[in-house]
Amino acid sequence: MEVPNRERKSLKKQFENLHSNFKYHSGYVGANDNFKSECRICGYVQERNAQIGRLSRKGIEIQCDNCNEINRLRKDLINILDKIYKEKERAIKKESRTRNRKPTENKDET
């Protein structure tokens, strides 16, 4: 069943006004069905229920699954790099301490 163009345009306009980080992509069939939306930040396309485009859903924040995954991976990477940095820093301090110590004289050589 083909949806009238005016219904699709109406959903598109309402959805994009309510959720500015997303734009309508394709697939709208009806008010209780799914359609595809595209994240304006990363370009990821995912399915959403058409009811999220209703005015009664104003104030409901939707999130991009891909952006959430990227942020999770970014945090993991920062933690890994921080751990490596701290290990290197400890190794440098340890090496510096051992270099700054005066060598003990060997009593057997006299």
The pTM of this model reads 0.68
Question: Tens of pLDDT along 12-69?
Answer: 998 999 999 999 999 988 888 999 999 999 999 999 998 888 776 677 788 999 999 9
**Which residues, 6+ apart, have CB-to-CB distance to 58 below 8 Å?**
18
DSSP run (H or E) holding 39: strand 34-39
Domain locations in the chain as residue ranges: 5-63, 66-100
Phi–psi pair at 25, nearest 5 degrees = -110, -60
